[in-house]
Amino acid sequence: MRRNPLLWFPQFGRIAAMIQGEEWLIEGFGCRAASLRDMNLMQALCERVIKELALSVVGEPQWRQFPGPGGVTGLYLLSESHLTCHSWPEHGTIAFNLFTCKDRERWDWEQALAAALSAEHVSVRRVRRGIRFAAEGNGSAPAEVAFQDGDSGSPPSVDRIIAGPHSSPEQRSART
């Protein structure tokens, strides 16, 4: 029997199953302008992320160097999803977006951007995509979740999620 990990949201008093992946939104501020214009440095930084997180590149990365004092934009298509990089030397900022279909270890963006770009501040946000609450209160069809007991105080696992009124006859009979 396949079990999906659960996420506990104490502020909502709900448990949800993670279905689709996670997205990391990274912003660096106070970076050296010259570094943000250096396409080779940006490529090396992205290649380091890919290597250290064991990501798989599909095809050739796409890069664009903007003219004059402009920055660079890079895109890596990954078998797990994508990694993008955008820099604004005129503002001393850089942004990365990493979307993966599986949980990954948190990468040390703060240390890497401070070392490579002299970033003074780094913001790292993680957004879990495709979360479906076990009991939805927004007017959409409620979901019913069968739980397996967790061990050592950990949250339980989801055995199955059965949709509400839009479920199939087989799913509705399985609930009773």
Please give the positions annotated as active site.
Answer: 81, 86, 101
What lies within 8 Å, CB to CB, of 121 at 6+ separation is: 28, 29, 30
Beta bridge partners of 21: 129
Which neighbouring-strand residues pair with 72?
65
Q: In terms of DSSP bridges, do strands 81-88 and 72-77 run parallel, antiparallel, or are they unpaired?
A: antiparallel
Q: Which helix (DSSP H) or strand (DSSP E) does residue 14 occupy?
A: strand 14-29
**Spatial CA neighbour of 64 closest among 84, 35, 92, 48:** 84
| 37 C-beta neighbours (distance < 10 Å), count | 19
